[in-house]
Chains A and B, each alone.
Chain A
Amino acid sequence: MSGFLAEAGWFWPVVSLAAYFLGMWLAGRFHWAIFNPLLIAIGITIGAVVLSGSSYEQYQASAQSLSSLLTPATVCLAIPLYEKLACLKKNLKAVLAGILAGVLTSLVSILALSALFGLDHQQYVTLLPKSVTTAIGIGISQELGGLVSVTAAVIAVTGVLGNVTGAGLCRLLRIRDPVAQGVALGTSAHVIGTARAMEMDELAGAVSSLSIAVAGVLTVLCATVFSTFL
């Protein structure tokens, strides 16, 4: 059995998909935030990897067929963005102001809480790029001397959390404008948040895609300054 698991290239992607559909079914039956398809898929996949006795490297070799599609998919976020370009231009000032406010909030609040919990410098800079998309965040973490693999995991958790809570939090805070919802999801939870924004509203998804790029670049610029504060 373990020989087959190591050999079969599509075993883990199929398990992940099956878990995702189970998550969708549960989400349809029980309207709890915890029954988020992505969250359930991740939980089940982690459980299955551990129970099967596969190493993470074995898992990754198979799961790569899924994650390698991420770059072309990110490129394709330009398509909904282009379709909403006119509306976006009209709201450009609001979008940029929102993203800037979000990036600064993220950095300041990470600084404050890291100081509060007594994290050391390396732990602090590891967390600093947590709201930007993985590839940018890893670059920042590396640059500042953080633990890159932890940054990658923290970014993933941030995104999933944003994906799971995004719609509810927007409702709670009365963020009703789709443009503002897109700014909120993309700035705080990068690509994974954008996937949710895309489900909420097409315009929100387009704005969210743009926010990933802008927030990423702004964070690159500001994180270096913030890294000197703790």
Chain B
Amino acid sequence: MAYLKQLARILFITLLGEALHYFIPLPVPAGIYGLLLMLLALSTGAICLSAVRETGKFLVEIMPVMFIPAAVGLINTWDVLKGIWLPVLVIIAVTTALTMGVSGRAAQRVIRMSGRKEDP
């Protein structure tokens, strides 16, 4: 019963997220609303961590596999991409690496700056 109850709580929050996505006219996906709702529920104690933990960890662990179908969708867009795939690929590779580098270095710099202030 433990897993069933955990799954029920997770799916209930997911459903609330879908409701918010439906009623609020913003391009924010149901999963992100649900993530924030789950965080809120855990922080306020409405849901206790142990009441969702194992099933939640299971879903997070198997998550990478869930992206395979979306990536296989590449097959379907080949007609559009045929003429421009090389520049598109270069743009994806360069901008992703740049974004990763700049965001990571910026965060690390701020952490080290504030760390130095705290322990002189």
Q: Which residues of A contact B107 (CB under 8 A)?
A: 91, 94-95, 97-99, 101, 177, 179-180, 183-184
Q: Which residues of B contact A179 (CB under 8 A)?
A: 107-108, 111
Main secondary structure on chain B at its contact with chain A? Answer: helix
Say whether A42 contacts B71, CB under 8 Å: yes
Q: Which residues of B contact A78 (CB under 8 A)?
A: 34-39, 42, 56
Say whether A123 contacts B84, CB under 8 Å: yes
- A132 CB to closest chain B CB (Å) equals 10
Q: How far is the CA of A67 from the CA of B55 in the complex (A)?
A: 17
Q: Which residues of A contact B29 (CB under 8 A)?
A: 71, 74, 133-136, 139
Q: Mark A122-144, 1 if CB is under 8 A from B, else 0.
A: 01000100110111101110110
Say whether A45 contacts B28, CB under 8 Å: no
Q: How far is the CA of A105 from the CA of B97 in the complex (A)?
A: 10
Say whether B43 contacts A85, CB under 8 Å: yes
Say whether A110 contacts B95, CB under 8 Å: yes
Say whether B70 contacts A149, CB under 8 Å: no
Q: Mark B12-29, 1 if CB is under 8 A from A, else 0.
A: 011001100000001111
Say whether B72 contacts A59, CB under 8 Å: yes
Q: Which residues of B contact A212 (CB under 8 A)?
A: 32
A176 at the interface (CB under 8 A from B): yes
- Interchain CB contact (< 8 A) of B31 among A38, A71, A94, A187: A71
- A37 CB to closest chain B CB (Å) equals 7
Q: Given contacts A78-B42, A134-B70, are A37 and B81 in contact (CB under 8 A)?
A: no
B63 at the interface (CB under 8 A from A): yes
- Interchain CB contact (< 8 A) of B30 among A17, A71, A154, A173: A71
Q: How far is the CA of A150 from the CA of B104 in the complex (A)?
A: 27
- B16 CB to closest chain A CB (Å) equals 9
Q: How far is the CA of A198 from the CA of B60 in the complex (A)?
A: 9
Say whether B102 contacts A76, CB under 8 Å: no
B53 at the interface (CB under 8 A from A): yes
Q: Mark A66-80, 1 if CB is under 8 A from B, else 0.
A: 110111111111111
Say whether A169 contacts B97, CB under 8 Å: yes
* Contact residues of B between 81 and 96, Cβ < 8 Å to A: 81, 84, 87-96
Q: How far is the CA of A149 from the CA of B20 in the complex (A)?
A: 24
Q: Mark A113-129, 1 if CB is under 8 A from B, else 0.
A: 11001010001000100
Say whether A72 contacts B101, CB under 8 Å: no
Say whether B77 contacts A66, CB under 8 Å: no
Q: Which residues of A contact B65 (CB under 8 A)?
A: 16-17, 20, 41, 66
Say whether A177 contacts B103, CB under 8 Å: no
Considering residues B31, B77, B104, which has the most beta carbons from chain A within 10 angstroms of its beta carbon? B104
Q: Which residues of A contact B32 (CB under 8 A)?
A: 74, 133, 135-136, 212-213, 216
8 contacts between A and B (CB under 8 A): A74-B31, A77-B60, A79-B57, A152-B73, A157-B89, A165-B96, A188-B97, A189-B100
Measured CB to CB, the residues of B under 8 A from A are 10-11, 13-14, 17-18, 26-32, 34-39, 42-43, 49, 52-53, 55-57, 59-60, 62-77, 80-81, 84, 87-108, 110-112, 114
